[in-house]
Every structure is written in C-alpha cells, then in structure tokens.
Amino acid sequence: DLIESAKRAACRQAVADHFNPSFTYVGIGSGSTVAYVVEAIAEHGASVTGKMKFIPTGSGSTALIRNAGLSVLQVPDLLLEVGFQPESESHQPIDIYFDGADEVDAELNCIKGGGACHFQEKLVSRLAKRFICVADSRKRVDRLLTSWSYVPVEVSPMGAEYVRRELLRLGSQDPKVRTSGPTFISTITDNHNHIIDAPFPTLLLNSEADKLDPAKGLWTPDALLARIKRIFGVLEVGIFSGLNGPQVAQLDTDVEGVKP
C-alpha cells in the first residue's frame, strides 16, 4: 500500500544517501519503518556488512538485525570494545544511527517511544555521530503533539504510581489531560520497566521559548523533556529534542511519485 511504499522508498533513499561501506558500527532503531533500512543495508552483501557490527535498541531491533544475517553488538559490549571514555573524542563511537519516529516537528525534534524502546533508542542516539530519522509524511507536523497526543515516559515499576500522579499534576490544566490523564501501558520494556503515556497539549517549537508558560500548558520540547526528567522515578522520556538529543536529519519522505 502507499504508506508502506513511502516508508520503504524513504528508507532506501536514506541508506543510499547516508550509509557508507567504511562504517564500523551502525545503530538500528525500533519499529516498522527501520525494517526497510536494514533490508536496504543487507543488500550491500556480506563483503560490506560482514565487517560491521549493528547496535540494537531493544529485542525487536535485535531480531531485525539477526534475521537479516547481520551481526549484533549490544551497547555494553560496544563500550568495552572501543574503550569508551565519556566526553572524549570517542564519545560517539557509532558511525550512524537509523530510526523512525512517532512525530517530527518543523525543527526536527521527535516524539519517539511508541514502541516502548525510547530509553535504548536515546542511549544509542547519544553514542552516534549522526541520527538519520526516517519518517513518512504522516509523522511530519509543525509542532509536536499535534497528531500524536502523549509523551511516552519509562518509569520504574515501584515508582510508577508516584510518577503518574506527578505527571497528572504537570498536565492537569489541559482538558485533554483532565479527561484521559497519564495512563499506564501494560508493556514491560526490555529494561523491565513500565511505560506511562502522558498526554500534553501541543508543544511550542524550541525557537518559541519566549512563549513558554507551563502554567498555561505552553511547553517547548526542551522544557518539557527537562521537567519530566526531573520527576523522581523517571528513567527516560520519549522527546528527542535538538538541544538535548542528537541532531536529526529528517529525510523528505514525499519521495518522487510516492505520496502516501
């Protein structure tokens, strides 16, 4: 169907534009779009991919890499292998990281975590020199939380109810939140934690920080990310924001002739 064709075309374009046979470590995200990235990389054949190691972002991503006949290297083993020193020149040992997103705003900030993998996705993105976010045009919005309505938050099981109540307080001035409120998702993540989907009103852009007014529910991605991260018990937040997260180069997905 058209959406799958657009996702596949965008991924093949991303690989054609950004994948390089000289790479050693390649990060692979989670979800249905990134599967087409792995398909396109695998087509380079073992003579190219055999020298590479692929860093997964969860159990689905690990299976995707393995099923394509590519070799998996988990983050802890990568850090050992490269002798990782935080904040040093080897600070970003992964050559490139490909992943999808749930929503991407006009300044390339993302909501991620629809697949409950955003902790490991953000871990890999922080270790990567470049993050190529491949998203079909359904995901593209001016401001985050336009079509997607909540922020996925990964929390410790025993702290989850505490976090849920804090999130409710944070978002409660917004009718959307008052109705639904932050809800537990039954998923147990690959890190053995819970996910809470916390609804918030449509965000501002980071460049609109002058309009920031949390009391009125006006948040920038950066400000909301920082505020939720501060809640005791939160492991990670599904907002990838330019100042705190990786720079993402969104691929234009209205690929010639394929308009989902």
Of 29 and 201, nearer to ligand DER (C-beta) is 29
Q: How far apart are CA 221 and CA 109, in angstroms?
A: 7
Burial of 68 (0-12, 13-18, 19+ CB in 10 A): middle
Q: Judged by CB under 6 A, does residue 32 bind ligand DER?
A: yes
Q: How far apart are CA 90 and CA 188, in angstroms?
A: 32
Contacts of 114 (CB under 8 A, 6+ apart): 31, 102, 148, 152, 238
Task: Return the structure tokens found at 117.
Answer: 């993998």
Among 8, 30, 78, 109, binds ligand DER (CB under 6 A): 30
Among 27, 31, 93, 221, binds ligand DER (CB under 6 A): 31
Q: Judged by CB under 6 A, does residue 113 bind ligand DER?
A: yes
Q: How far apart are CA 155 and CA 100, in angstroms?
A: 22
Q: Judged by CB under 6 A, does residue 103 bind ligand DER?
A: no
Number of other CB atoms surrounding residue 248 within 10 Å: 23
Part of the chain binding ligand DER (CB under 6 A), chosen from 14-22, 29-37, 122-130, 165-173:
29-37
Among 9, 52, 70, 117, binds ligand DER (CB under 6 A): 117
Among 100, 199, 217, 221, binds ligand DER (CB under 6 A): 100
53 φ, ψ (degrees, to nearest 5): -125, 140
Of 150 and 166, nearer to ligand DER (C-beta) is 150
Part of the chain binding ligand DER (CB under 6 A), chosen from 37-45, 116-124, 177-185, 227-235:
116-124
Q: How far apart are CA 24 and CA 47, in angstroms?
A: 13
In contact, 166 and 139? CB cutoff 8 Å: no
Among 10, 33, 160, 205, binds ligand DER (CB under 6 A): 33
Least CB distance to ligand DER at residue 201 (A): 21
3 state SS of 231: coil
Q: Judged by CB under 6 A, does residue 114 bind ligand DER?
A: yes
Q: Judged by CB under 6 A, does residue 236 bind ligand DER?
A: no
Q: What is the 3-state secondary structure (H, E, C) of 21-33?
A: CCCCEEEECCCCC
Q: How far apart are CA 220 and CA 206, in angstroms?
A: 5
Of 53 and 118, nearer to ligand DER (C-beta) is 118
Catalytic residues: 121
Of all helices (H) and strands (E), which one includes residue 194? strand 194-199
Q: Judged by CB under 6 A, does residue 247 bind ligand DER?
A: no
Q: Judged by CB under 6 A, does residue 105 bind ligand DER?
A: no
Q: Judged by CB under 6 A, does residue 53 bind ligand DER?
A: no
Q: Judged by CB under 6 A, does residue 235 bind ligand DER?
A: no
In contact, 103 and 139? CB cutoff 8 Å: yes
Q: Which residue ranges make up the site for ligand DER (CB under 6 A)? A: 29-33, 99-102, 112-115, 117-118, 121
